[in-house]
Structure 1
Amino acid sequence: MPIDILMPALSPTMEKGNLSRWLKKEGDTIKAGDVLAEIETDKATMEVEAVDEGVLAKIVVPDGTADVPVNNVIGLIAGEGEDAKSVASGPVPANEKIPEAAPAAPAAAPPIAPALNGEAGPRIFASPLARRIAKKSALDLAAIQGSGPHGRIIERDVKAALAHAPTAPRIQDTKAPSAPLPTPGPPDELIRQNFAAGSFEEIPHDSMRKTIARRLVEASRTIPHFYLTADCNIDDLMSLREAINDAALQDTEGKPSYKISVNDFIIKALAVALIRVPDANVTWTESAMLKHKQADVGVAVAIPGGLITPIVRAAETKTLSVISREMKDFSNRARARRLRPEEYQGGSTSVSNLGMFGTKSFSAIINPPQATILAVGAGETRVIVKDGTPAVATVMSVTLSCDHRAVDGVLGAKLLAAFKTLIEHPAGMLA
């Protein structure tokens, strides 16, 4: 029996991906561990490795195919003793697709005991994507007839049932009603009518921009944000940074082995501040607060078409030079879309620094599931009052966005105060 090559789920939230290119061709001998293809997600380009050996008999999904659902068959491997040509000419397992036209309503399954998406009661065979859609829509899978292999319920079956929502059986919701969804924006055609024909160019949204839009709407709608701002005197930081960089060892080419940036100090200071104020180093869930034992700091990196937030793990334990080298490596691989999912998922907090673009101050939207994000403005020369007299100093404005469910006002203020102390007395984070 041929071995299916499936579209992998490269992250917990991934539902679809783009098949960028095949690195093997039909007829090639495959060994376990061989790289078969490159898959492009909204954040990165990942390699798919073979887990079985045989001959690549058929490429089901060609190069450049977009929006391939997770668990779809993208290729077939002829196993030991199988004829690759026979496999290639044989039937291809049914894949999930979004139908161009809604099919007729699926026939209702024989009455059985109600079950919550197949997780209790009689076992129901359904794809993960079908279960996820049904759960979000409170749709009872037990009442849907599957059209996939061996009667398996797949995405199109659930969507067909939803198209007949008035008659589709729903799961009894025993929870309190959720907040209403925001009113959708005006239709695309209505927006286009505001602009003269030919006065604009349409650039279709890629998967990254769609994901950014979805996550930011979700964050702004579901997270109760509040904001705290502080001005930090960074004169001592700038002096220490210069001294550290001047002391850097030279490599074989005569170049400094590292170059510490202001952003590296900010990452370190925020991480140490979270350890000093551990009640702010948390993540909110509906059932419990997750209190983290280390400070994993995400850093927003601009890449073509959007941004990504690689995470410096346990940043409080790392030297400035290590953080600097990690961020240089993350930035290079992020722009090449080569970050692994575990390198940009999770995290305790994030830093978004627009100071290098001259932005004085701004407020950032929290990146779920984190509870805080620090927005950093430019360091600029300002007149301040020092010891009762006017003085000139380099001042940097920062704004801490907090999830009020997890971090209350006083707690957020303590975290920001700890950060300000560390930034203004940077030698304290080197101890």
Structure 2
Amino acid sequence: MSKTIQMPALSPTMEEGTLAKWLVKEGDTVSSGDLLAEIETDKATMEFEAVDEGVVAKILVAEGSEGVKVGTVIAIIAEEGEDVAAAAAGGGAPAPKADPIPAKSEAEAPAAKADVIPAKAPPAAADNRVKASPLARRLAEAKGVDLSAVAGSGPNGRVVKADLEGAAPAAKPATPATAAPAPAASASTPAPVAAAAQDFGIPHEVIKLSGMRKTIARRLTESKQQVPHIYLTVDVQLDKLLKLRSELNAGLASRNVKLSVNDLLIKALGVALIQVPECNVQFAGDQMLAFKRADISVAVSIPGGLITPIVTGADSMGVAAISTAMKDLAARAKDGKLAPQEYQGGTASLSNMGMFGIKQFEAVINPPQGMIMAIGAGDRRPYVVDDSLQIATVMSATGSFDHRAIDGADGARLMKAFKELIENPIGMLA
């Protein structure tokens, strides 16, 4: 009997994903462990392996399809000796959902195949509004296309992105001086910013949001709306840390390890969180989670967004081990090859924009974490050293704290501990 292949859940929180690429085609024979497809989640692209052996009878979801819900049937595998054509036609396999992409998704269903007969006319909903996906509506607005004149090829005659290709724009209305009053726009189809820009003749392109960018937008919006932030800034002298880094790198050269300033800052934040455990916490509704280990999420910029790979147990790791781990995590993050447990979790975050010359900034907390440390550039400036005004290398560090979980006084203690560890760095290596 044929077997169905369903969209897998590649992380505990995954609800939908993008079927980025098929690694097999219809008619291919596969065995257990063979790679079937590449699945893109909001943070990484992972390979999906076959569990059973057989012949790929039918691929039901085209590669590039976005918003495919977990559990959606994406392919049918015929067992050895089974009639492949029969399996492809159904063969006892449960039929895939007619519209696996939720209405709220901005993704489009794949274009209808030749054996699907498109609706002759786009059916209207009970309130006389044309059935169309959100993205199709926005593209129609941007192109000036009348959706009521477009035949929908999606499920139940729904207009999707593919239906708009080649669609002619609607005739332009009369000039404002002679035009009749336009009917009020439906509340469900507001004009997008892109369309407004086009109305004013500003050259632009419509860029579809990636899954990662959607997740970043959602999480940061939730953070600023739901988490009361408190910001605390300290100036930190770096000269002793820079001297220690130079000495350590000289000793580690034979092991091909080169420490960055960021590696030492990760260590300092890890140790500071253990010294001030009131800040190594997480707000969880009617309770608090107090962590016994400092797992530091480090912001890494990658094409299309940002990801935060985790240095697990940074408080107890040696700085050479932190450096090696960060190089590996950052490289695999940029290739989209991190496993979910390598970027989901963490007890606090560190974001360093000093390499861009940014002197000071306030970072947004990465929920559900309780704090994030924002690191500015170190530069030479007047600074009081041993009761005298001297020129020193100084950076500004700003902690953002979830005020529901962390009191201002405890946040101040953490900033003080962080500053002292950097200005007397031997202490954090002991």
Give the TM-score normalised by structure 1: 0.76
Matched, 1:5 2:9: no
How far 1:192 moved relative to its partner?
A: 2.3
SS at match of 1:378: coil
State the AA in 2 paired with 1:276.
Q
- 2: distance between equivalents of 1:228 and 1:388? 24
- Mapping 1:404-423, distance limit 5 Å: 404-423=403-422
Among 204, 211, 215, which residue is 2:215 paired with?
Answer: 211
Deviates more, 1:42-51 or 1:397-406: 42-51
1:325 to 1:385, Cα distance in 2 relative to 1, 3 A? same
Aligned to 1:134: none
Deviates more, 1:347-356 or 1:71-80: 71-80
- 1: distance between equivalents of 2:202 and 2:316? 56
Deviates more, 1:2-11 or 1:306-315: 2-11
SS at match of 2:378: strand
State the AA in 2 paired with 1:7.
M
SS at match of 1:414: helix
- 2: distance between equivalents of 1:188 and 1:382? 47
Among 241, 247, 251, which residue is 2:245 paired with?
Answer: 241
SS at match of 1:247: helix
How far 1:403 moved relative to its partner?
A: 0.4
Aligned to 1:82: 82
- Tell me the alpha carbon deviations over residues 269-302 of structure 1, each in whole angstroms, 9 at most, x when there is no partner: 0001111111211111113211112110000000
Among 85, 93, 96, which residue is 1:94 paired with?
Answer: 96
- 2: distance between equivalents of 1:290 and 1:102? 51
Aligned to 2:235: 231
State the AA in 1 paired with 2:223.
A
* Structure 2: segments with no counterpart, 5+ residues: 104-108, 110-122, 128-155, 157-187
- Mapping 1:62-81, distance limit 5 Å: 62-81=62-81
State the AA in 1 paired with 2:192.
D
* Structure 1: segments with no counterpart, 5+ residues: 106-155, 157-183, 252-256
- 1: distance between equivalents of 2:260 and 2:198? 45
State the AA in 1 paired with 2:74.
I
Contact 2:22 2:36 in 1 (8 A): yes
- 1: distance between equivalents of 2:398 and 2:102? 43
Matched, 1:15 2:15: yes
* Count of matched residue pairs: 348
Aligned to 1:202: 206
Deviates more, 1:344-353 or 1:93-102: 93-102
SS at match of 1:289: strand
- Tell me the alpha carbon deviations over residues 87-135 of structure 1, each in whole angstroms, 9 at most, x when there is no partner: 0122661323446989779xxxxxxxxxxxxxxxxxxxxxxxxxxxxxx
How far 1:51 moved relative to its partner?
A: 2.1
Percentage of identical aligned residues:
53
Contact 2:194 2:206 in 1 (8 A): no
Contact 2:67 2:102 in 1 (8 A): no
- Tell me the alpha carbon deviations over residues 60-104 of structure 1, each in whole angstroms, 9 at most, x when there is no partner: 112222221221111111235532221012266132344698977
How far 1:364 moved relative to its partner?
A: 0.3
Deviates more, 1:89-98 or 1:352-361: 89-98
1:225 to 1:44, Cα distance in 2 relative to 1, 3 A? same
Aligned to 1:340: 339
Aligned to 1:177: none
- Mapping 1:222-371, distance limit 5 Å: 222-250=226-254, 257-371=256-370
- 1: distance between equivalents of 2:345 and 2:124? 37
Aligned to 2:26: 26
- 2: distance between equivalents of 1:424 and 1:187? 54
Deviates more, 1:319-328 or 1:231-240: 319-328
- Tell me the alpha carbon deviations over residues 149-179 of structure 1, each in whole angstroms, 9 at most, x when there is no partner: xxxxxxx9xxxxxxxxxxxxxxxxxxxxxxx
How far 1:386 moved relative to its partner?
A: 2.2
How far 1:187 moved relative to its partner?
A: 4.6
- 2: distance between equivalents of 1:349 and 1:408? 16
Deviates more, 1:367-376 or 1:205-214: 205-214
Give the TM-score normalised by structure 2: 0.76
- 1: distance between equivalents of 2:269 and 2:330? 19
Matched, 1:379 2:381: no
Aligned to 1:429: 428
- 2: distance between equivalents of 1:306 and 1:428? 36
Aligned to 2:388: 389
- Tell me the alpha carbon deviations over residues 288-330 of structure 1, each in whole angstroms, 9 at most, x when there is no partner: 2111121100000001111100000111121111111111111
SS at match of 2:254: coil
- 2: distance between equivalents of 1:88 and 1:293? 53
- Tell me the alpha carbon deviations over residues 39-70 of structure 1, each in whole angstroms, 9 at most, x when there is no partner: 11221101111222222221111222222122
- 2: distance between equivalents of 1:264 and 1:5? 43
- 1: distance between equivalents of 2:387 and 2:274? 34
- 1: distance between equivalents of 2:216 and 2:19? 20
Aligned to 1:47: 47
How far 1:419 moved relative to its partner?
A: 0.9
Aligned to 1:120: none
Contact 2:30 2:55 in 1 (8 A): yes
Question: Alignment RMSD, CA only?
Answer: 2.3
1:356 to 1:25, Cα distance in 2 relative to 1, 3 A? same
- 2: distance between equivalents of 1:411 and 1:338? 37
Deviates more, 1:407-416 or 1:357-366: 407-416
1:84 to 1:308, Cα distance in 2 relative to 1, 3 A? same
How far 1:190 moved relative to its partner?
A: 8.3
1:205 to 1:97, Cα distance in 2 relative to 1, 3 A? closer
